[in-house]
Chain A
Amino acid sequence: MGVIEKVKLGLGKASDWMNGLKDKFTASINKVQGYVGSAFEVAKNGSTFTGINYDSIDKIRGSIRTYVTKIQNELANINSDLSPDKALKGDVAAAAKAYVKAVTDVAEAYVSSLLAYSDKMYEYGEAFRKNEATLTQNVNDEATALSSSAEKYTEKY
């Protein structure tokens, strides 16, 4: 076998490794997506916010947002400061890029699940506030009606 054929064979093998590596990363990403999805899934039906102080929802959501931002900032630092091109070339560099992308994807799956949960918390709070407003209005209406009745009411017996 000549040198050119051997180079082609070597490049082909590197490409096979790359596909294998991406498959392994994809398996890990899928596993995490499934896990975090189900970890916060119960909240999707809005049934897990029992006992929450509705006035605290904004603060809790703010703390979740801060937590998420810190994770995203660390990921951004990796993508900007640790470019594989500084140390690696060719397929090895591509493998490193695939790795960093896998880490980013896994973290984003986690972060997205938390943000979706946070939105459900907001919707739950809004639904409560709306119901509370309706209840208050109903009570006021009743009170007005009673008051009006009281003014007009005359003893029958």
Chain B
Amino acid sequence: MDFQGASYGVDIMGINQYISDLNTAILTKVSNVIRNTSEVETEVKAGWVGQSADQFLLNLNKAADTMCDTLKELEKTFEAEIKGIKDQMMDFDDTLVDAE
């Protein structure tokens, strides 16, 4: 069945693939870029010394970690919600079949 033309419904295989692709894009690619603060660290260490510089790098890396944790949190929320919606829609389809 082609779901591309459907206005309401779920392509289960498509959802699974989509979530997998999103995991790769968000949890791997975006997170990796966020965690990679090496270029900033190199320039800071080359031109800034002392406690303020250390504090900035600490804040930067902590913020990057928090960002990545939040992305994981968002992804888990999304995945749980999509699973709930899929289950509910399948129940809903079953109910409609029963009604008919």
Contacts from A to B (Cβ < 8 Å): 1-3, 6-7, 10, 13-14, 17, 20-21, 24-25, 28, 31-32, 35-36, 39-40, 42-43, 48-53, 55-57, 59-60, 62-64, 66-67, 70-71, 74-75, 77-78, 81-82, 84, 86-92, 95-96, 99-100, 102-103, 106-107, 110, 113-114
13 A–B contacts from the bound complex (CB under 8 Å):
A56-B47, A71-B34, A78-B22, A86-B18, A88-B15, A89-B6, A89-B10, A92-B10, A92-B86, A96-B82, A103-B74, A107-B34, A110-B34
Q: Least Cβ distance of A109 to chain B in Å?
A: 9
- The binding surface of chain A is classed by DSSP as helix
Cross-chain contact of A71 among B10, B33, B62, B96 (Cβ < 8 A) = B33
Q: In the bound complex, do residue A48 and residue B74 qualify as a contact, i.e. CB atoms below 8 Å apart? A: no
Interfacial chain B residues near A50, Cβ < 8 Å: 50-52
Q: Least Cβ distance of B59 to chain A in Å?
A: 5
Q: How far is the CA of A56 from the CA of B6 in the complex (A)?
A: 57
Q: Which 7 A-B pairs have the closest CB atoms?
A: A56-B47, A51-B50, A87-B14, A87-B18, A99-B78, A63-B43, A90-B8
Known interface pairs A6-B96, A64-B40; A110-B67 also in contact (CB < 8 Å): yes
Contacts from B to A (Cβ < 8 Å): 3, 6-11, 14-15, 17-18, 21-22, 25-26, 29-30, 33-34, 36-37, 39-40, 42-44, 46-53, 55-56, 59-60, 62-63, 66-67, 70-71, 73-75, 77-78, 81-82, 84-86, 88-89, 92, 95-96, 99-100
Interfacial chain A residues near B25, Cβ < 8 Å: 74, 77-78, 81-82
Q: In the bound complex, do residue B43 and residue A56 qualify as a contact, i.e. CB atoms below 8 Å apart? A: yes
User: Nearest chain-A residue to B16 (Cβ)?
Assistant: A87
Cross-chain contact of A107 among B7, B30, B44 (Cβ < 8 A) = B30
Q: How far is the CA of A57 from the CA of B82 in the complex (A)?
A: 46
Known interface pairs A6-B99, A13-B88, A21-B81; A66-B39 also in contact (CB < 8 Å): yes
Cross-chain contact of A99 among B8, B15, B74 (Cβ < 8 A) = B74
